[in-house]
Amino acid sequence: NNEAITAWNEFHDFIKEAQDRANTAYNNQTFFVDLHGHGNSIQRIELGYLLYDNELELSDNTLNTTKYINYSSIKNLALSNQNNYTHAELLRGSKSFGTMLSANNYPSVPSQSIPYPGTNTNYFSGGYNTANHTSYSDGVSMNGLQMELNYTHIRDSSANRTAFSVGFARAIIDFIN
């Protein structure tokens, strides 16, 4: 369908244009978030770095290898960050985005308290947008992830959506810094 193809191309061109503008305005200090809601019965935020549930169960030493860094949507951040955090630390350490969300009362996986989702939990590791608009893809410098937000305590009321936006903003700023 030609109209669907046009819409698809316009959508992805818009993301690319927004990334270029953000990188220019903020000196490449930007982060891509593909935000979704999930219907999983486990009420926690799922952070998709393009690593599968069983891969997140691997040891830190294994996650810190070139093989797994190259699979990750935060590849460039893992290879070069001002604090020299390892890939595993960025995924589930004390300064990981998931840990920072958890500190704002939003349990998240992966994080220090929930380092991996467990198998058979319907964890979503990320999708097309994350793979094509982050450093996982050759030629893309921007790091990012896919966020799957649970319903309870986040999306179930206007007050909770507002409160989450504040907690999210705190966490993402702390993570980027």
pLDDT tens profile 77-132: 999 999 999 999 999 999 999 999 999 999 999 999 999 999 889 999 999 999 99
Residue 29: is its pLDDT beyond 90? no
Residue 42: is its pLDDT beyond 90? yes
| pLDDT for res 120 | 86
What span, in angstroms and rounded, lies between the C-alpha atoms of 115 and 134? 22
| pLDDT for res 145 | 98
End-to-end CA distance of the chain: 44
What span, in angstroms and rounded, lies between the C-alpha atoms of 33 and 87? 18
What span, in angstroms and rounded, lies between the C-alpha atoms of 87 and 131? 17
Three-state DSSP state, 43: coil
Q: Stretch 148-166: mean pLDDT, rounded?
A: 97
| pLDDT for res 52 | 96
**Residue 159: count of CB within 10 angstroms of its CB:** 8
Phi, psi of 5, rounded to the nearest 5 degrees: -65, -45
Three-state DSSP state, 66: helix
The pTM (predicted TM-score) of the whole model is 0.94
| pLDDT for res 79 | 95
Q: Stretch 47-55: mean pLDDT, rounded?
A: 97
Residue 12: is its pLDDT beyond 90? yes
Write out the two tokens for 68: 């797994």
105: left (phi over 0), alpha (psi -120 to 50) or beta: left
Strands (E), 12-117: 31-37, 45-48, 108-109
| pLDDT for res 176 | 86
